[in-house]
């Protein structure tokens, strides 16, 4: 047990809690503030959203210990908030709630929209709300309520709210610069822009981190660098080593196909295309891909950069970096540590398959046989490792 001290709604709350206690349980069970609702408890529904230091956070996937020394605001603590007072009235007028289960989380997210996006239109409001699920209202009333608050503030600006907005703009910009996040507008422009002419791989062999989350990994190959490079620039062979990937057609350096991903609660099948750009001098390449999951309509983009480095005469090491972005319902998973562990292990699986193929090259017309991949086993193995890590830390 550890002593955790959090300022909840302006009052210091100091309680003993286990390191694994999430903020939602801390608020409900230790602080006895039951206005925050828990539903999915894995970051999907948004019902548990509260403000931590003024920013919306899913309390079910935030450790209480990580909030030690910080300020948390729950639905019980918005009485003096000028934006929330307008939102509450608007929610009531526009019939933005029915059973009310989602409402504490909806209000926290709505406040964030009003703060950050004074000019948001209906489409943007709906996108911003996509991380909060309501089973009753159909979202019409919620969207109308937020739009009415935004319009009222445009018609008649409020000095107190303008000051809050100015502070948040500065805060968010600083955070985004530090973390290399891409703005919504930049991503939207990129999506709408005509496909760029493929550029040569960057000299450093790493992709532009401004495009999304970056994960590094790598694997050892039991073969000389030139042999591994000859394999790694052959697109169908590379794709054939990616667990769950299927190539449907190829034209030059571009392939069409799909990749199926199953990991715990997340399951998706992205269909799209990928292009390989190679740099023979450096034995480096970038595989640029994008696709859409037909079920969730989530869109994924990713650049896999890799470079084959000699390790003595007979062996080599392949350094891999994945820079990816997810849009749509699956975006909520994109930064989770579990997903990052998953990608690193996928890279290791990929390495196993590359070694296997180099050891036993396919005969003409032979169907590829890759090392067996078990996503369920991998999911539980990652969870187990994290569980053990928890005890090591405590
Ligand atoms: S309960 Fe936290 S997101 Fe669903
Ligand atoms: S009002 Fe019932 S879940 Fe949203």
Full domain range(s) for residue 286: 206-393
This model's pTM is above 0.75: no
Considering the domain architecture, whether residues 306 and 363 belong to the same structural domain is answered as yes
22 within ligand 1 shell (Cβ under 6 A): no
- Which of 148, 172, 196 is the last residue in one of the domains? 172
> Is any atom of ligand 1 closer than 6 Å to the C-beta of 289?
no
Regions of the chain with pLDDT less than 50:
195-209, 370-373, 390, 393-394
Q: Is 139 part of any domain?
A: yes
Between β-strands 55-58 and 49-52, what pairing exists: parallel, antiparallel or unpaired? antiparallel
Q: What is the CATH number of the domain that holds 380?
A: 3.30.530.20
- CB distance 46 to ligand 1 below 6 Å: yes
Establish if 177 belongs to a structural domain. no
Q: What pLDDT sits at residue 294?
A: 77
pLDDT digits (tens, 9 = 90+) for 23-72: 999 999 999 999 999 999 989 999 999 999 999 999 999 999 999 999 99
Residue 191 located in a structural domain: no
Q: Do both 159 and 221 map to the same domain?
A: no
Are residues 220 and 164 both part of a single domain?
A: no
Instruction: Give yes or no: residues 385 and 271 share one domain.
Output: yes
Domain tally for the chain? 2
pLDDT number for residue 203 = 35
Q: Please indicate, yes or no, whether residues 215 and 136 belong to a single structural domain of this protein.
A: no
Q: How far apart are CA 64 and CA 62, in angstroms?
A: 6
Give the C-alpha separation, 299 to 214, whole Å.
17
Regarding whether 365 and 272 lie in a shared domain, the answer is: yes
Q: Are residues 122 and 244 in the same domain?
A: no
Q: Given the DSSP bridges, would you call strands 71-73 and 2-8 parallel, antiparallel or unpaired?
A: parallel
Compute, in angstroms, the gap from residue 132 CA to the centroid of ligand 1. Answer: 9
- What was the pLDDT predicted at 201? 39
Question: Residue 209's pLDDT is what?
Answer: 47
**pLDDT score of 214:** 77
Report CA(256)–ligand 2 centroid distance (Å). Answer: 41
Instruction: Give the number of the ligand closest to the Cα of residue 136.
Output: 2
Residue where one domain finishes, among candidates 146, 172, 198: 172
Q: Per the domain annotation, does 335 fall within a domain?
A: yes
Which atom of ligand 1 has the smallest separation from the CA of 44? Answer: 3
Residues 350, 211: one domain?
yes
* Structural contact between residues 64 and 4, judged by C-beta atoms closer than 8 angstroms: yes
pLDDT in tens, 353-386: 888 888 877 666 666 554 444 555 555 565 555 5
Q: Does a structural domain hold residue 181? A: no
Taking the CA of 37 as reference, the closest ligand is 1
- CB neighbourhood size of 245 (10 A): 20
Q: Domain check: are 270 and 388 in the same one?
A: yes
pLDDT of 2: 92
Within a domain: residue 186? no
Q: Report phi then psi at 63, rounded to 5.
A: -70, 135
Residue 187 lies in a domain: no
Q: What is the CATH number of the domain that holds 60?
A: 3.10.20.30
């Amino acid at each position: 047990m550890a002593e955790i001290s959090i300022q909840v709604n302006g009052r210091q709350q100091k309680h003993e809690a286990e390191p694994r206690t999430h903020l939602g349980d801390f608020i409900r069970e230790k602080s006895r503030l039951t206005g925050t609702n828990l539903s999915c408890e894995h970051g999907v529904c948004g019902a548990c959203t509260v403000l931590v230091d003024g920013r919306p956070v899913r309390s079910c996937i935030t450790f209480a210990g990580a909030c030690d020394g910080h300020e948390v605001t729950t639905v019980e603590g918005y009485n003096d908030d000028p934006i929330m007072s307008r939102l509450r009235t608007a929610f009531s007028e526009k019939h933005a709630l029915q059973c009310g289960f989602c409402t504490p989380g909806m209000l926290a997210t709505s406040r964030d929209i009003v703060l950050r996006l004074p000019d948001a239109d209906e489409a943007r409001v709906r996108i911003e709300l996509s991380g909060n699920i309501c089973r009753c209202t159909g979202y019409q009333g919620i969207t109308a309520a937020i739009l009415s608050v935004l319009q009222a503030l445009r018609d008649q600006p409020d000095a107190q709210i303008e000051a809050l907005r100015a502070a948040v703009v500065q805060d968010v910009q600083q955070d985004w610069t530090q973390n290399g996040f891409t703005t919504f507008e930049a991503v939207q422009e990129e999506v709408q822009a005509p496909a760029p002419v493929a550029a040569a791989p960057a000299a450093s062999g790493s992709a532009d981190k401004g495009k999304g989350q970056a994960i590094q990994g790598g694997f050892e190959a039991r073969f000389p660098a030139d042999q591994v490079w000859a394999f790694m620039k052959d697109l169908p062979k590379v794709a054939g080593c990616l667990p769950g990937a299927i190539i449907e057609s190829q034209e030059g350096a571009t392939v069409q196909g799909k990749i199926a991903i199953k990991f715990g609660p997340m399951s998706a099948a992205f269909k799209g295309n990928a292009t390989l750009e190679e740099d023979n001098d450096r034995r480096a390449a970038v595989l640029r891909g994008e696709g859409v999951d037909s079920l969730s309509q989530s869109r994924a983009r990713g650049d896999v950069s890799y470079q084959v480095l000699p390790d003595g005469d007979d062996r080599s090491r392949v350094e891999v970096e994945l820079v990816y972005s997810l849009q749509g319902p699956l975006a909520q998973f994109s930064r989770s540590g579990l997903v990052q562990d998953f990608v690193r292990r996928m890279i290791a699986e990929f390495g196993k398959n590359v070694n296997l193929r180099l050891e036993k090259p396919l005969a003409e017309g032979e169907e590829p046989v890759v090392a067996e991949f078990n996503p369920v086993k991998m999911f539980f193995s990652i969870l187990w490792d994290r569980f053990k890590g928890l005890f090591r830390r405590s």
